[in-house]
Amino acid sequence: GDPPPYIRAGDVNPWHHYASILTNIRDLVKRNWSIGFKHTKREANAVADLLAKAGAAGTDAWTEFREPPPAAIPLLQADAARVMFARI
C-alpha cells in the first residue's frame, strides 16, 4: 500500500522526537524499488508495541535481548495460543 500521510507529507520538523526516523523512512521510500506499507493494529502486534513503548520510555540508544523480557512472555504465549483481543 501507499505510505501513510506522515511519511508522504512535506518537511519534517527537525525538532520532532522522531524526525530522524521519519527522514530515514522517506529516503528509503524514494529509492528505485517497490515498497509497500501495511498497518497492523497494536493489539495484533502486542510484543512490538511493548518493545516500542519501552524503547521510547528508556534512555539507552540500543537494547539487545538474548531472551524475551518478562513482560513479553504472556503476550507471546497469548499469540501462540491465537488469543484474540478486542480493540476498545
- Could you say which DSSP state residue 71 is in? G
- Tens-digit pLDDT profile for residues 30-65: 889 888 888 887 778 889 989 988 888 888 888 888
Confidence category of residue 81, pLDDT binned at 50, 70, 90? very high
Output the pTM of the full model: 0.54
Residue found by looking up cell 515498497 in the block: 35
Helix axes of 73-80 and 46-57: crossing angle, nearest 10 degrees: 160
- The pLDDT-based confidence of 9 (bands split at 50, 70, 90) is low
